[in-house]
Structure 1
């Protein structure tokens, strides 16, 4: 890419809250962008190719954006232009000429081709033949790069097939598009460098008129059969400059394996940077870059002996473009593999002058961006005069026409100098919605990504979960379930709104699943509840919390329409539904909702179906299937699943997914995986490889040995990440945290600050720590622990008491054993009294004895527990001084501070 130097007079983008990203659909089908060029006026040109369904071929295509990333409609009336050279075309390299005209080079039917456009996107018929020029070098010729000489001549480079292998190929054109016959042989030059395929991917012109080309060449030496980075230097007439490297060529072997050079630039000091990818057996491929001295030798002051490579996780990674900042720092852009969703993402790294990562960029020198739902490939990079960074390429867009499975769009992002997205650029959040569509008449499960998306369920009983990002959900006909899996999937802050919107909620049959979020029900939006509010026009209804997390996010979801007075717990799911069997053999069938399935006794069959379920077969020989979703298989006693010398009563798990499901053994006392002795469990696989066993070889008094059977061979896939031997620990930061547990047994510690702790399902331990905390155990037998008097107290003027929202007498307990209280009583002599407020809405457990700071211990329980509390609900240090009798002291005169 060659561009005139942008002036600093380019208009600043208007301040707006955008996404930092832009997707451009050129022609309704697949569009691939390979180059970008900023204009002096701040506008941005993008070029590549677009599929033409009429000819079933690709055509050259161009788009132009305003400085803020919106389409510039002065180009061909809609900001987009398509040029059919004839046959199949691939647009690769873009240059803006000093007069504003646009050069685009690429390939057409296996020949080099160049077109020139006027500023409005129309063909400049004074160039070539009616604005187009094509050139045959060999049997198959493909362009990758173009450069302008100061005299207006045009260099175009790529690869040319001689019938047996590829070679570096380059042509030089006069300004009118004709071949410059003073260059090479009749304007063309071909260079065979290695034993086999050589490819020229980048070209630039030196101040003395010499020409540098970079790419890769095959090294068939005694010690190597790989491709190396390759750079050649030509004289102005197209002959090899033998003063450079060895005979005009310099190579760099980065990691002893295959290396590819994709981008080339020359520093102001004359040193040469070449970037691309290198193969590392441990990481697949990595970003790689080499720096050469002007004579072609490696610059030992850069990286390690002139070379540097960088892994961006395990998997494929490649640099496609290279840029230099005014301060000498080096930017590399391309794509890298994202194992979380098995796709590629835009990837940018910044290096210091010496080739080390610049940790001032995105924290560790690396920045990765998921542009759309699917593969994103970054192909071009430039630095604006204001220091902001443009990266363009193409992104898979599932919002396509439904039958084009390879639908890609041009994509571009702009970064601030620190590597964060520039939110003044690109599409507005609502304009960047990608569409995920269900099938008619099917019961679909649509799960979004981190992008802004539109989910369309159509007909059928569908499940829609937008994931992170500001999503639009339309269930269509049928009884649909709208699921929110995390509080930060849909929220509002003081400055921005990222809440999801449900477009067609039908209170007669649809439901909203909030069971993973830790809210306890509808209320005033405080103390773990959600408020229902309508906008002034009555067109939107909000479910919202007024309590912010440590990042200032308050949960909110919007429903299109006025549902005032229509929403209740029959429409909203705040905790997993419980399906409980009997002592006989039961068949418990789940649904798309998150559920708790408890088999009790007997030989039960438990099927979670969809959702993140908790399955506990209980006693008996049970069969467990979690179905889709992140499921927990819990075992509450060792004799729930066991084997003896003569019989097997082992539970069988049909569909355990080691990547997302978990087996909870935290209640059983095993310490980990091992040989099945000393409190460990062994992993064994049957001879056929069809079943895996988790088993102990140590018997109890009845001769029972714990054992679980899992379908499939999971021998190398079970570990401490999916087999849990102790409660998981969730710990706050000390500054007002929101900790939400799952269906596992967990230990939640809020530390300092006013925290909100919700255990979820499972037998949890909740310790709010210092600060005025709100605690909800959720389902399961939970323990509320207080570790010091200062954790929850009242003074004469203020209340800092913790509030327990859902204490379940007879199941939950409160642990006060660290505080020195001896039991229940009148609140004196080391005992705690019980008081109920006059409204009967809060019960207080309190001491009337103050410490030196005037603090009196106090806990509040939401609800009236006068007839439910007993000494069995508490763990005290000692019971010797306790009366053991619950004393109701009367109604409190000072309400809990709200």
Structure 2
């Protein structure tokens, strides 16, 4: 890939935290907004130029009405003006992240990413109207060209924003897919409008047209709300519906992975929901469109899934037993939403791997096997390390992978968390997440494992590279492979350690041949 331009800029006057870094796949540059309203383009040759840029923050729209068992679409937050175009940069072959400031001083995070068939990159996540606990969150989608430029024909200068329920702070979008029509579907968790307890949550999906406008033909007025269960306060924890993954199935159907409160109990069950292409429950799947998986009455923590060529679904996550031991879960469903008895024990892999914690955050296909990304430790006294497992097609742990079936990476010496992964064209694995050297300092991290789970020292001596995005809690959350298998897109955020404060979204491109 040669000389690309990455355009970023602030919503409003804020721009001092937009980092003047260079995306480095054979030289990429970006335009960063300046405090005086100009745009400076920094290239790898060290040259810069300026152009005029306005970019003001738009206001929130009003909330839509109720209808047909689903929530009406909320008003959209105004999109942010983006920086002006920059010049081509030459130079470095080292990939570097770019910060994208979506709001003036709120929570801006990219959490999910995907490609369309043309190689365009779509990211989703959140933006908020403030940095405190009372901030209102909205869902965002940003579109980047294969060359790494914001597509200004999409949404408002490359970014589409929609606030599903206005005035509450529980909205978070993690999953994103592009249907064969080019329309973009996002899934997440949303506040339960009108709930007696404001902590109650529902699962939501919404669809954007190819130009970034809300597609009102989807669900009800563009949004499908799935109220799987009533939330409940259990001790000091509120148990409610949650979403984590979104996958595209045959005929543009949508598979949402998450959890709901277990019927008649106070813990969570894994939940897999299938919608038709237009956001209605697919009643041919599971029971009225939903499959619940209860594993030994243990609390479920759902994460992501992958869909096989035959339409089967493999979902990853973990459980916590009565002794507080956290163990990984993979289960396999048939295309009809039934547990596949040929996989694991009755369709489920769930066993204690490390003595204290083994979490599976993401799952990917490697040949006919399934590989995971997550983290774990042997005892409470140990720090957390990146953990990857390989589960065979029959649902058993592959002990030839890593060391006795466990690939472990100590990223930063304290607590490290892998969040997602992709299989590279040569069957190596690229994992993304974060690494903490201290409780108050986390850097975004990329790591590569060989096909057999050993650390790839050709990528780095430790197998990982860390990136300081400018915050105290920096993380990469999502990764996607381009359709030509040449580039991976990685997204995350420059975060505030306390969870409140001014966060910024981040994106980075890397060659898949790294």
TM-score band (shorter)?
Answer: 0.7 to 0.9
Q: Which residue of 1 aligns with 2:164?
A: 85
Deviations 1:260-305 (A, max 9, x none): 111011223x111122111244641110011111110111221123
Greater shift in the superposed pair: 18-27 or 296-305: 18-27
Which of 119, 124, 148 aligns to 1:47? It is: 124
> What secondary structure sits across from 2:257 in the alignment?
strand
Q: Which residue of 1 aligns with 2:97?
A: 21
Alpha-carbon distance in 1 for matches of 2:110, 2:475? 9
> Does structure 1 residue 60 correspond to structure 2 residue 139?
yes
Q: CA RMSD in A?
A: 2.5
Q: Which residue of 2 aligns with 1:125?
A: 216
> What secondary structure sits across from 1:151 in the alignment?
helix
Alpha-carbon distance in 2 for matches of 1:298, 1:357? 19
> Does structure 1 residue 408 correspond to structure 2 residue 503?
yes
Answer 1 or 2: higher relative contact order, Cα 8 Å, separation at least 6: 2
CA distance 1:97–1:405, shift in 2 (3 Å): same
> What secondary structure sits across from 1:157 in the alignment?
strand
Q: CA deviation at 1:20?
A: 2.5
Alignment of 1:56-455 (within 5 A): 56-86=135-165, 87=168, 88-109=170-191, 110-138=201-229, 139=231, 140-162=240-262, 164-220=266-322, 225-268=324-367, 270-281=368-379, 283-339=382-438, 342-384=440-482, 385=484, 387-396=486-495, 406-416=501-511
> What secondary structure sits across from 1:284 in the alignment?
coil
Alpha-carbon distance in 1 for matches of 2:109, 2:361? 17
Deviations 1:822-872 (A, max 9, x none): xxxxxxxxxxxxxxxxxxxxxxxxxxxxxxxxxxxxxxxxxxxxxxxxxxx
Q: CA deviation at 1:240?
A: 1.5
Q: 8 Å contact 2:421–2:430 — kept in the other structure?
A: yes
Alpha-carbon distance in 2 for matches of 1:173, 1:291? 30
Q: Which residue of 1 aligns with 2:66?
A: none
Alpha-carbon distance in 2 for matches of 1:171, 1:226? 28
Alpha-carbon distance in 2 for matches of 1:397, 1:73? 29
Alpha-carbon distance in 1 for matches of 2:318, 2:496? 32
Alpha-carbon distance in 2 for matches of 1:176, 1:405? 36
Q: CA deviation at 1:17?
A: 5.5
Q: 8 Å contact 2:257–2:271 — kept in the other structure?
A: yes
Q: Which residue of 1 aligns with 2:50?
A: none
Q: 8 Å contact 1:254–1:288 — kept in the other structure?
A: no
Alpha-carbon distance in 2 for matches of 1:47, 1:34? 6
CA distance 1:61–1:348, shift in 2 (3 Å): same
Alignment of 1:685-700 (within 5 A): none
Q: CA deviation at 1:386?
A: 6.0
Q: CA deviation at 1:357?
A: 0.6
Alpha-carbon distance in 2 for matches of 1:67, 1:175? 26
CA distance 1:83–1:267, shift in 2 (3 Å): same
Q: Which residue of 1 aligns with 2:37?
A: none
Q: CA deviation at 1:397?
A: 7.5
Q: 8 Å contact 1:254–1:309 — kept in the other structure?
A: no
Greater shift in the superposed pair: 47-56 or 283-292: 47-56
Alpha-carbon distance in 1 for matches of 2:369, 2:114? 24
- Structure 1-normalised TM-score? 0.42
Q: 8 Å contact 1:329–1:353 — kept in the other structure?
A: yes
Q: CA deviation at 1:26?
A: 1.8
> What secondary structure sits across from 1:155 in the alignment?
strand
- Structure 2-normalised TM-score? 0.73
Alpha-carbon distance in 1 for matches of 2:319, 2:512? 35
Q: Unpaired runs of 5+ in structure 2?
A: 1-26, 29-87, 192-200, 232-239
